[in-house]
Each structure stands twice: as structure tokens, then as C-alpha cells.
Amino acid sequence: MSFANPKVGFVSLGCPKALVDSERILTQLRVEGYDIVQTYDDADVVVVNTCGFIDSAVTESLDAIGEALAENGKVIVTGCLGKRADVIRDAHPDVLSISGPQDYGSVMGAVHAALPPKHDPFINLVPDTGIKLTPKHYAYLKISEGCNHRCSFCIIPSMRGDLVSRPVDEVLREAEKLVRGGVQELLVISQDTSAYGVDLKYAERTWRDRSYQTRMKALCEGLSELGVWTRLHYVYPYPHVDDIIPLMADGKLLPYLDIPFQHASPRVLKLMKRPGAVDKTLERIQRWRSICPELTIRSTFIVGFPGETEAEFEELLDFLDEAQLDRVGAFAYSPVEGARANDLPDPVDEAVKQERLARFMERQAEISTARLEAKVGSVQQCLVDAIDGELAIARSMADAPEIDGLVQIQNGFEAGLKPGEFVQVEIMGSDEHDLYGEALFT
């Protein structure tokens, strides 16, 4: 008779929303007494959480499934690509089970069938915060699933369904637990953070004896009570975003907005089925900055969308000049199987797409570089992520983990800094992405 716990290998692919799904599955596995192991050899079964957003992600997911099958043989597939089970079965007919995103019940059912649990509550301890895939000092906080928009290039609504918000008290309780477990930065994620609560008709709930609406502003007010950094991702540029800028100006919320604008030409935005009032967007950005001058805006754009003309692409470059965004990511449009944009006429030639992408990135690089240079000489509050030799690698309020830049603190080791600590840093240099400085001894 074996006393060893059953062992599960886990491969987590995709965006932060998929990462949160992975964390929930891992937490449940640990609750039920499974050990999570690092190698295919050690695992009795492997779970692969897939991504299916763009073609390269599909390929990466299929490759990961293939590798797990070759190395281990017993593979359970879940996540976004699970919605396209035929694609998985065609490539890998031997997988044990396939389920879609957030389908924790099916994943656990498949694990139980392949490898029955052996639960001993006295030895299987799970931290109060669940299993996290992020470092101890920051965590993603998922406030809703699905999306009510129907952007023509996106298949997320068909994979994840319409918006389903988590009641505000549930989110605040989770955040409170994370902070108790040592988290210093909460990263609020969803498909559309500004739509939070609309499906629940902004239901009121009680947390810490106070009533909060299930609504973006009330959520931010609640989170500000926790005394840690709160950063908002995936915000749509709607008028009610105006309401949270004063919270940023008051230091209750990080002065940071991640708003995927996607384009600036009204006609292209219409083809994308995104809101198209570019003048209003520029006005709004200006107003936000007048209320909260330190506001950092990050965005993503798609160039070479079907039908995009040279003049419309130049409108986008003009928008960059006017908007002076801090951080920008861009993609050349690539068709996603099942997206309605594939049926649009006048696809842009691949070489033209790549040439526009290069011009776009060049223009934005100048803007980002200048905006970072303007910070030289200032003092920034930073959160330390890691120590690397003499250096501490940190982030300022303007830098989200993984996607933005870093602050390299030259005397980080000497200053005795540790991951998860806040420190005031005098900024002495900059480049296109990062800042360089020295910790101030207080």
C-alpha cells in the first residue's frame, strides 16, 4: 500500500485570466490532497490549461499538449482552447478529457477519474490565500468572467460567454485574504473592468459593516481600505471612468489605467465594433491628466485591420502624438478562427501590416522614451520584485508586472531591500522601457 499522495503536473498557458483559473484548480487539487510536481516524470497525470486567443497561442497550446502526452501519457486539457475540442482531438486523440475555461468541476472530475484523491486533512495544508502562481507580494484579482461586447476581431465572448460579475463583497473578502497573506499589490482583471456589476444591476452588498455597490467605483473605494497598491486593467474608455480619477488623485488607487484603445480611426473602430468617439477620448485623457497629472496610461492597438487605409493608419499615428500614452503594445492584425472580422473585405497585405507595425512602434518608442526621461530627477515610490546581485529590480506605480518596464535600483543590495518591500527611489537615468536610480535611505 502506498502512503504517497497522488501527483499532478500542471502546465499553465495564456493570459492573467487563465492564470487565475490555474490558481483555482491548483488550490482545489491541494485541498483534496494532491501533490503538485514539477516534472512530467514525477507526475501521475498532467493538466494543461490552454489558451486559444490567437493562432500562435493555439499552436503553443497544441505543442504543450503534445509534449505532455509524449513525456507522461496521461493528459487532461482545459482552458480557452477547450472550447474547440475538435481541434484538440484532431491533433491529439489520446487526451483523457477536454473542458473549457472556468470549468473547474470538469477538470476535477477528470482528475478524480484518472487518479482518485487520497485526502488526509492533517497533512494536506493549503494556505488561506489558495495556491498562487504569482510572487507572494502581488496577485491578480478577477472580478468578473465573460464580456458583453462583441468586438469583431475577438472570440472571447463565444468562449467565455456574457459578463458574469462576482458580487463586490466576495471580491473584497478575497482581496482582504490576499493582503493578510502578504500581497502588497492587487491587479484587478476582467475582460472589461468598467462594465463590472452591470449584470447584477449594481447589487449592494455589505463588507466590514459598510454597504458597497457591485460597481467599479465602489469596488475601488473598498479596495483602497486595504492600504496596498490597487491597479486596474482592461478598462473601457467610458464616461464613468471619470469617477475613479479623483480616487487616483487622492492616492487611494494607483494612478494607472490600462485601456485597450485598439485604434483611433472612427471607421476602423466601427469595423472593430468598438466605441469610436476619438475626439472625446482625447478630451477625456486631457481632463483626467488635469485632475491627476501623474496618471499613467497603457494601451494596446491593432494595426493592419482589414480595410485600414494608409490615411486611417496615419490618423492612428496622429492620435499617438496627441494622446502621449506612456506604455503601448501593438499587434499586426492576424485572423482568429471564428472571428467575424475574417469576413471583412480588403485585407491588408502582410508586408504592409509589418511595415505599419514598425512605423507605429518607432513613433511610440520616441513618446515612451521622452515620457520616461521626464522622470529623471524625481523620486518614485517603488515595490521591489527581486534582488539580482547588487541590484534590486523594482517597479514604480507606472509599471504593471510582466507588461511594463522596471526600475533598476543600483544600490538595492546595499540598501538591504527585499522582494515585497516599498522603497523611495531617486531616478537618475532612463531608456525606452526602464528607469535607473538609487534607493533613498530614510
Provide the annotated binding site for [4Fe-4S] cluster. Answer: 15, 51, 80, 147, 151, 154
Q: And the C-alpha cell for 312?
A: 486611417
- CB of 147 or CB of 372, closer to ligand SF4: 147
CA–CA separation, 419 and 319 (whole Å): 38
Quote the least distance from Cβ 271 to ligand SF4, whole Å: 13
- CB of 76 or CB of 336, closer to ligand SF4: 336
CA–CA separation, 398 and 248 (whole Å): 12
CA–CA separation, 138 and 311 (whole Å): 42
Q: And the C-alpha cell for 160?
A: 467565455
- CB of 207 or CB of 305, closer to ligand SF4: 305
Contacts of 390 (CB under 8 A, 6+ apart): 410, 411, 412, 413, 414
Neighbours of 150 (CB within 10 A): 12
CA–CA separation, 234 and 368 (whole Å): 20
As annotated, the binding site includes: 15, 51, 80, 147, 151, 154
Burial of 384 (0-12, 13-18, 19+ CB in 10 A): buried
- CB of 95 or CB of 341, closer to ligand SF4: 341
Quote the least distance from Cβ 147 to ligand SF4, whole Å: 3
Residue 119 per-residue DSSP state: -
Quote the least distance from Cβ 159 to ligand SF4, whole Å: 9
Q: Rounded to the nearest 10 degrees, what angle do helices 310-323 and 278-291 cross at?
A: 10
- CB of 39 or CB of 342, closer to ligand SF4: 342
Single out the residue of 142, 140, 133, 136 nearest to residue 170, CA to CA.
142
CB 268 within 8 A of CB 305: yes
Quote the least distance from Cβ 237 to ligand SF4, whole Å: 11
Q: Which residue has the cell 483534496?
A: 32
Residue 244 per-residue DSSP state: G
Quote the least distance from Cβ 160 to ligand SF4, whole Å: 8
Quote the least distance from Cβ 153 to ligand SF4, whole Å: 7
Quote the least distance from Cβ 302 to ligand SF4, whole Å: 10
Chain residues in the site for ligand SF4 (CB under 6 A): 147, 149-151, 154, 156-157, 191-192
SS3 content of the chain, % helix, strand, coil (to 5): 35, 20, 40
Distances (CA, A) of 278 to 283, 301, 308: 9, 14, 16
- The number of residues making up the chain comes to 442
Helices (H), 166-258: 168-180, 216-224, 245-249
CA–CA separation, 249 and 14 (whole Å): 33
71 three-class SS: helix
Quote the least distance from Cβ 212 to ligand SF4, whole Å: 25
- CB of 150 or CB of 240, closer to ligand SF4: 150
Pairing of strands 407-409, 391-396: antiparallel
- CB of 28 or CB of 191, closer to ligand SF4: 191
Quote the least distance from Cβ 273 to ligand SF4, whole Å: 8
298 three-class SS: strand
- CB of 149 or CB of 177, closer to ligand SF4: 149
- CB of 129 or CB of 299, closer to ligand SF4: 299
Quote the least distance from Cβ 152 to ligand SF4, whole Å: 9
CA–CA separation, 145 and 292 (whole Å): 30
- CB of 12 or CB of 191, closer to ligand SF4: 191
